[in-house]
Structure 1
Amino acid sequence: MGNAVLLNMVDTGTGFNFSSSIESELTKYHFELDELNETTDSFNIIQPDCDRLDYGLAISAGALCGIIDIFLVGKPEKSPLGDITDKWFENRTKDFAKLSGWNDGKNGSTSSAIRFLETKFKIPYDQRGAGDAGQFIFGLNPTNHHFKSLAHNPTLLGLFFSILDQFTNQSHFVTENELIVLQRADDGFELRGADVISKLFSAFVNWFGHIISDISGSSTSKGRGMGIPSPLWSWTNDIIAIKRKLSIKPSEFDKFVNDLSLKIFNQGYDIRFQATQTILVMINELVTRLFYSVRRLVKYFADTEKKTA
């Protein structure tokens, strides 16, 4: 049985006319067919051009990175690759201190460079929980104050609270699912600048300089010290802070994730060790893409020679 074409007939008042014609229906049909072909082509394009060997090589790259993780990454303070990363961050802290005017000889210690940066980029929210108000009010101690203090977080919200704290001489902390503010945090602090723009610039410089001073621990740290939290974990503080500012009660899940993040940070998984773990991701990406590219290159030359012959 052949295909039927249905044409609509309408009453114009003086007669009857077809509301459509075969030509218009065919045009509409071809237009819809072209759209369908484009959709099909788009779907084919996003299909991975991989075979079993590609997947096998990718799995092998993952296994290689797993072996590197076991023997070279491990955990903080017991990581050969982590020691190299920590040393790299210490050297960058010294380089930044030299650019800022630090001059303690060619082989100056890292603690000396950190002490210089802490003095030069002074901020009001550096309560460490060692005999100060933060210890009794916020449960702060030298191992968690970099995490709980919002202005120590290397995020956009951390920058916002740093500028806010410097303008208002306050300290904002997240602890036990609460956002707590310490008024008149440092009576000796004064934000430099003659107008709002210059003060904003000074506040940003102070925030960045203080982050660099804390990235390898404090000047009084023994051993590795506590760095700053990675943006991945410090966002758990931001969620609680935003909800509290909007008068929304954080959920128990928010508290659970925030407490988990703090425990992970206290184990030494700061931004330095997160950088160490990122090395494995880079190696996995490079090895996988290298295998894929080499296979396609060999296949291209093999097919080209056959066509030429």
Structure 2
Amino acid sequence: MSLSIWYNGEIRDIASTGIHPLAQGLHYGTGVFEGIRAYANPDGAAVFRLRDHLDRMQLGCEALGIRFSIAEFEAATLAVLRANKHRDAYIRPLSIYARGGLGLDVEVLGEDALVASMPWKPHLGSERVRLTHSPFRRNTRLAIPPLKLCGAYVNSILAKREATSRGFGEALFTDVDGQVVECTGENVFMVKDGRVIAVEHPDALPGITRATVIELAGAESRPVSLQELQDADEIFLTGTSAEIAQVGWLDARELGANPVSLELRRLYQRVVTGQDATRSGWLTPY
């Protein structure tokens, strides 16, 4: 199936675009991306929290010195969705250093920018997730800021590969002090005695789905140790792609029923599909 993408200011067929094999971003991961979702709703379709995602992308571009226009990427996102006639879709904006050589002085380089949309299903699936404590550490914020910088996600891929080699579906990062950070592509929540707690850690991505669930659930945000997480009644993960994913196992421990996370999952679906009028401000129709 042919897809249209927005590429350097115009809608083009994806087959007609390409990246130079010596693009700096290809070799060093010097780029910034976002993951955004659009959902069909009773009135058509809308993008969920588009401006919040682009605000975060702007922070990543500022960190790397990449020029970025929120207004341009917002318009490009809606144009791509219309061109592809997508209603339920995943949206991938990307800006990378692509022209000017392989040196590390990025100020002299030129950028390529694109926005793509594609059909999507939650990447952790609809079943309960098998989660394992990873031997890998999360990138520390003192080395790489916790934003969606392309090269930083090698850290996630290494941890995910190690986890899946042992039969698990996702990996959990902790720091050297045993505090929970996040998973390879999701933030972490726990439920204890009916209370919803969002794991807070300075090395974790400031998740937009995380912020959504905190508001919907009235959740407390605070640091959580691995030992405390292991004693939780429920564990669930949040992310744009994963949405709200229930954890069924943490290493050898099988968790029981997940009534709180299931109810939050239903509420989240009502919000993103425009069935909750009180949250309509999070939706950008197209």
Q: TM-score range by the shorter chain?
A: under 0.3
Q: Which has the higher helix share?
A: 1
Q: Which has the larger radius of gyration?
A: 1
Q: Which has the higher strand share?
A: 2
With structure 1 as the length reference, what TM-score do the two structures score?
Answer: 0.22
With structure 2 as the length reference, what TM-score do the two structures score?
Answer: 0.23
